[in-house]
Structure 1
Amino acid sequence: MSTDNDIIRRSRDSPQVFGELYDRYASVIYRYAARRAGDFAADDVTSETFLVAWEQLETYDLDREDARPWLFGIATNLLRRHHRAEAKILRTAGKAALREAVADDSDRIAAQVDAVVATAGIARSLKAMAAIDRETLLLYAWADLTYEGIAVAMDVPVGTVRSRLNRARRTLRTRLNLEILDETENDHERFTAAPRNA
């Protein structure tokens, strides 16, 4: 099986070989783009990613065997154009999760309600996070890139990736813990403010 850098090297002389790289990674780029900006943008981002990659073929560092970080870097840059759509999806996911209706047995209902509340909280936390931290976190969680791969994709040092992921995790923990505390306080206020029967 050819390595990515071998495919890119051969593509420079034989353009049809580039199709091997597309076949190898189009589906993962599509899934990443769909998670970030929805299905409606994923097709465009995927095709644009490979168009840009084709146009930048001569600039690819042939010492790198794995082209995924390079491709995800291109896709991430393209997704920045779709940031409004991403923010809208996160906002919609948060609202939809809170509105989702549930029926049937109580154990399943409790589990689904917990999942709905958690999804809404995570969506709000991601939306409130700095875009650069969110992109780093999503490259790690959804694109399954290593710290080194994210560094290549974002063209930053590995230490910067570590800092951004640390900040993103801290933001998630803080926001989710605050939401839990707010819910607990609201529940406590409801119970203590209820009128007592004499």
Structure 2
Amino acid sequence: MNGSPGRPDDARVIADSLVRPDLFGELYHRHAAAIHRYAARRLGADAAEDITADTFLTAFRTRSRYDVTRSNAQPWLYGIAANLIGKQRRAEVRSLRALARTGHDPIADTWTDRVDSRVTAQAAQAALAGALAALSVGDRHVLLLVAWADLNYQEVAEALSIPVGTVRSRLNRARRKVRVALGGVDPRLVYDFPEMVRSG
């Protein structure tokens, strides 16, 4: 998707857009769907539209400060989205707490196809939502950027402008709290958390 043969990488698109702003649309074309999916998982479909639009507007306005040694702009975009989501932290926590009470998440149901594990996953969703709501915003950002945005430690560090060591410690702390909250249920059955069971 980024920098395939005959196509400039994200850094080149951003650099070129300083002279020709219309070229920035290519960055939106490449990454908007992923940013929207991530925002929808965090805040719901309605808010995701606004978060996605604001992410790319912010990126466009600040593109002159982009580090062009980083060919892939996706971590940068996720970082902007995470900051915007953080400003709506109350809405996210309220949604997670509602899920913790009811055990039903229509947002997650639209993104995952559960068949055999559906009953187990629904039972565990309430516990997971409660655990996510209880995490600090920094720990939640790290955990969800790894689990839902599929970023590696270095990319999360770039996205949030924190050291890799901080990413590791936040992720370990968040994983530990979530495992305790799930009481032994495999986290991969809930909310598509494949990374949570891998060792750090």
Confirm or deny a common fold (TM above 0.5). yes
Aligned position for 1:185: none
Structure 1 residues 51, 111: CA separation in 2 closer, same or farther (over 3 Å shift)?
closer
Partner of residue 162, structure 1: 168
Tell me which structure has the larger Cα radius of gyration.
1
Q: Which residue of 2 aligns with 1:188?
A: none
Shift of 1:97: 2.0
Written as runs of structure 1 = structure 2, the 5 A alignment for 1:47-196 is 47-97=53-103, 112-177=118-183
| Larger mean Cα displacement after TM superposition, 87-96 or 153-162 | 87-96
1:28 is matched with which residue: 12, 30, 34? 34
RMSD (Å), alpha carbons: 2.2
> CA offset at residue 6 of structure 1?
0.8
Q: In the alignment, which of 8, 12, 26 is matched to residue 14 of structure 2?
A: 8
Instruction: Report how far residue 112 of structure 1 moved.
Output: 4.1
Q: 1:37·1:83 contact (CA, 8 Å) conserved in 2?
A: no
SS at match of 1:26: helix
Gaps of 5+ in 1: 101-109, 180-198
Give the deviation of 1:99 after TM superposition: 11
Q: Indicate the SS of the match to 1:33.
A: helix
Structure 2 CA distance for aligned equivalents of residues 99 and 9 of structure 1: 41
Distance in 2 (alpha carbons) for counterparts of 1:172 and 1:151: 21
**TM-score normalised by the chain length of structure 1:** 0.80
Aligned residues: 171
User: How far does the alpha carbon of each residue in 1:100-122 deviate from its partner, in whole angstroms, 9 at most, with x for none?
Assistant: 9xxxxxxxxx9544222111111
Gaps of 5+ in 2: 1-6, 107-115, 186-200
Once the two structures are superposed, residues 111-155 of structure 1 have per-residue CA deviations (whole angstroms, 9 ceiling, x without a partner) of 544222111111111111122111110000111111000000110
Amino acid in structure 2 at the alignment position of 1:70: W
**Cα distance in 1 for residues equivalent to 2:36 and 2:66:** 21
- Normalising by structure 2, we get a TM-score of 0.80
Deviation larger for 7-16 or 114-123 = 114-123
